[in-house]
Structure 1
Amino acid sequence: MDEKIPNSKIIETEIPMGTVHPAALEPYRVRLFVEDEIVQEAEITIGVNHRGVERIMEGLPVEKANALTEKICGICSNAHVWNSVRTAELGLDIEIPERASYIRIIVGELERLHSHFLYLAHGCEVLAHETFSMRVFYLREIVMELLNMIGGNRVQYGCSVIGGVRPRCELDSKRLERLANDMDALEEGLTDFVNRFTSDSILMSRITGIGVLPQKQAIKLDVSGPSLRATGVVYDLRTTMSEYDPFDFNIITQEDGDVKSNLMMRALESFESIKIIRQAVKNLPEGPVVTHDWEMKDTDIIESRIEVPRGTLYHSYALESGRVRHSIIRTPSMANIGAMQYACIGDQITDAQLCIVQCDPCFTCTDRAIEIIRR
């Protein structure tokens, strides 16, 4: 109680944000419970984007179901179709051509770059620094044009199919040369951005120590991806994926689990994606990009997990007469919602949206979860 104000008392207040908010890329609802401008509790509710994708997939031919998964998200569309196709390949014991695996890696890492650049640009926008935001969007545009070159589309590239990649995604010498040259341009531009960003004392003071997620809490909440590694946990699912065995890259970590650590995670991890793409371009094996040497059969429920820009993406389904049964899709943001809520607590209400954004939420592809309320 403030002694200068007789009989004063703290009044708990609820501040609603959303479902549409200028700092949010998608609709979701945030409830902030504050006392004297300090967030004491936060609640994030999704459900606005629910489209029943898993129900629609039920009974579809597996090829059509795979194509549908690409529509789940406009940021990680390739990740969804890759993991859905990978699920079928695991169940049907399909060994894809090595060249196809390399092309999948190239597209996957390009998607990681465009996702991380979007994250950095959005973060700068929330920080009210439009110049930095536009600089990153310029770099992202290079990546989007590369994805368009490979798949013929800037959002849904339709790269992976059962047995490999589509023939239209084949990389000839001109495409490989452009990829190599653009990696040099991206590295130069990203280096310049990171140097400018980290040397801005006002920005750095604004994001240091804000939205702290302790490592123990991150593990307890089952946080994954860069948001987990930002707390110092050395874990990247790519190190367990056979597709990444031929590539040399570092697992980037930060220690503080705050907004600064999360922003630096994505920036530094982007350098590793550039490194992986360069290796794939340089060592791209000869051979076909797709195999048709496999037969459809019924399977039990098959599970596949891959590392996508936000963490661990889970797909599972069974095959019955070539059709999908019992599909379940779980995205990283499902687990990371807890981290977003926790990160707000103890900070000023003006920092709340920044604390949420630091976990890189993607609720459009998360929106299939249900909450069971026990009475």
Structure 2
Amino acid sequence: MEEKVPRSNIIETEIPMGTVHPAALEPYRVRLFVEDEIVQEAEITIGVNHRGIERIMEGLPVEKANALTEKICGICSNSHIWNSCRTAEIGLDIEIPERARYIRIIMGELERLHSHFLYLAHGCETVAHETFSMRVFYLREIVMELLAMIGGNRVQYGCSVIGGVRPRCDLDEAKLQRLKDDLDKLEEGLTDFAQRFMADSILISRVTGVGVLPAKQAIRLAVTGPSLRATGVARDLRTTMFEYDDFDFNVVTQPDGDVKSNLLMRALESFESIKIIRQAIANIPDGKVVNRDWEMFDTDIIESYIEVPRGTLYHSYALESGRIRHSIIRTPSMANIGAMQYACIGDHVTDAQLCIVQCDPCFTCTDRAIEIIRR
């Protein structure tokens, strides 16, 4: 695959986009440098959504800080509170009940479905295929209702606590049966969507070969999650997380690193998430859902990495008298957004926004940097 080479002396047209754009779910700013309507260079700047979450966490009691992390993002709120609680559990050597571990897996994979379906719907909307977009939003609604059934809210469920999950998030037989029934509906609907998507020659031609990111460049730019696996690199942190030791699933990859590969990645990974949830339902152990038998003590900086819908999520902090010190949160979109500057190069200016949103960016999660790549 021919390597893209950014031009260093672009003196032609600059096209600004944002900070508000109809194809973007969140505000950010893009500068496109084009020649004959072909993108020669791109610059993505964020910072509009910065709210200082890490600074606010400084000095808060760890339980209160954990709850605050859930407010970082409405799409992956469960991922943030899970990893924040997990950080404390690693540092304090807290053993998690097996039943709580399974419920966390169910919530995590439901949230992956919720995020991937939003991505697929937004991707179809970006290429002006509103019918496909509405079909996926219908499927996502089923997932949102399942999340609300378990956590009590459609977003920000407050499921994880230090030592396990909240007792109100425990799953009785009626809830487990509803999960089984709705997973059947989801799989049937997702299969139908995928078949219709692949059979639409106009849509496939629109997204094939657009926004290509080679595997070598993706690795150099530290791309993570489905955006990396869409370049053919089989790297998924779930394969190293102890929470997933009992679960069988495939690490899905796609070979081309373009918009089509990214769309197919999310669709195919959704089938794997359904498979994982089914295993959790079938094998969920009895017992308590939270371990309260632990003691607080001071720690050095603790680190935790988990795989979330967009890639690797990093949380770290130290504990001092039960309070947070030196909190750092690194979201997967930080690297992925930067890589999209590269993916734009060589494509037509009308495809630029499609190239950027193919990485499923979450600017609110990421917004602690002003400029992604400074040359």
For Structure 1 versus Structure 2, the TM-score category normalised by the shorter chain is over 0.9
Q: What letter corresponds to residue 63 of structure 1 in structure 2? A: E
Query: 1:52-76, CA deviations, whole angstroms, 9 ceiling, x for partnerless residues?
Result: 0000000000000000000000000
Decide which moves more: 72-81 or 331-340: 331-340
Q: Distance in 1 between matches of 2:122 and 2:281?
A: 30
**What does 1:1-375 correspond to in 2, within 5 Å?**
12-369=12-369
CA shift in 2, pair 1:371/1:339, >3 Å: closer
Please give the per-residue CA displacement for 1:177-202, whole angstroms capped at 9, x wherever unaligned: 00001110000000000000000000
Instruction: For residue 338 of structure 1, report the CA deviation from its aligned partner.
Output: 1.9
Distance 1:357 1:101 in 2: 33
Q: 1:201 to 1:370 in 2, by over 3 A?
A: closer
Distance 1:215 1:60 in 2: 41
Counterpart-to-counterpart distance in 2, 1:161 and 1:277:
21
Q: What does the per-residue CA deviation read over 1:4-27, in whole Å, with 9 as the maximum and x for residues that have no partner? A: xxxxxx961000000000000000
1:69-110 alpha-carbon deviations (Å, 9 max, x no partner): 000000000000000000000000001100000000000000
CA distance in 1 between partners of 2:373 and 2:289 (Å): 48
Mapped partners of 1:372, 1:228: distance in 2 = 18
SS of the aligned residue for 2:107 comes to: helix
**Cα offset, 1:370, TM superposition:** 5.2
1:107-130 CA-partner distances (Å, limit 9, x unpaired):
000000000000000000001000
Q: For 2:274, give the aligned amino acid.
A: I
Change (3 A) 1:216 1:152: same
Taking structure 1 as reference, are residues 372 and 218 closer, same or farther at Cα in structure 2, changes over 3 Å only? closer
- Go from structure 1 to structure 2 and tell me whether the alpha carbon gap of 1:11 and 1:314 turns closer, same or farther (over 3 Å shift): closer
Counterpart secondary structure, 2:32 = strand
SS of corresponding position for 1:33 = strand
Offset of residue 162 of structure 1:
0.2
Q: Which residue of 2 aligns with 1:3?
A: none
Q: Is 333-342 or 279-288 further displaced after alignment?
A: 333-342
Structure 1 gaps, min length 5: 1-9
- Residues 117 and 137, structure 2, Cα contact 8 Å, conserved in 1: yes
Q: TM-score, normalised by structure 2?
A: 0.96
2:328 partner amino acid: I
1:140-189 per-position Cα deviation (integer Å, ceiling 9, x unaligned) = 00000000000000011000000000001000000000000111000000
Specify the SS of the correspondent of 1:144. Answer: helix
- Residue aligned with 1:71, SS: helix
Q: Is this contact kept in 1: 2:99–2:288, CA < 8 A?
A: yes
Secondary structure in 2 aligned to 1:70? helix
CA contact (8 A) 2:84 2:315 kept: yes
Identity of aligned residues (%): 86
CA contact (8 A) 2:334 2:372 kept: no
Aligned to 2:7: none
State the distance in 1 between where 2:291 and 2:129 align: 48
Deviation at 1:368, TM superposition (A): 1.6
Provide closer, same or farther for how the CA distance between residues 373 and 281 of structure 1 changes in structure 2, counting only shifts above 3 A: closer
* CA spacing shift, 1:261–1:68, aligned 2, 3 Å: same
User: 1:216, CA displacement in angstroms?
Assistant: 0.4
Aligned residues of 2:313 and 2:332 also touching (Cα < 8 A) = yes
Q: Distance in 1 between matches of 2:77 and 2:229?
A: 23
What is the Cα deviation at residue 373 of structure 1?
11
The secondary structure found in structure 2 opposite 1:114 is helix
Aligned-partner SS, 1:253: coil
Tell me how far 1:369 sits from its aligned partner: 2.7
| Distance in structure 2 (CA, Å) of the matches to 1:179 and 1:127 | 32
Distance in 2 of aligned mates of 1:102 and 1:255: 32
Match of 1:4? none
Partner AA of 1:296 in structure 2: M
Q: Which runs of 5+ in 2 are unaligned?
A: 1-9
Cα distance in 1, alignment partners of residues 63 and 358 from structure 2: 35
Larger radius of gyration: 1
Residue deviations 1:17-47 (CA, integer Å, cap 9, x gap): 0000000000000100000000000000000
Query: Stretches of 4+ moved more than 4 A in 1?
Result: 370-374
Instruction: Give the secondary-structure state (helix, strand or coil) at the position aligned to 1:224.
Output: coil
What secondary structure is seen at the aligned counterpart in 1 of 2:72? coil
Question: Structure 2: how far apart are the matches of 1:27 and 1:234?
Answer: 31
- 1:140 match: secondary structure: helix
State the SS of the aligned residue for 2:71. Answer: coil
Q: Secondary structure at the match of 2:41?
A: strand
Please give the per-residue CA displacement for 1:271-302, whole angstroms capped at 9, x wherever unaligned.
00000000000100000000101000000000
RMSD value, Cα: 1.4
> Does the 8 Å contact 2:166/2:289 carry over to 1?
yes
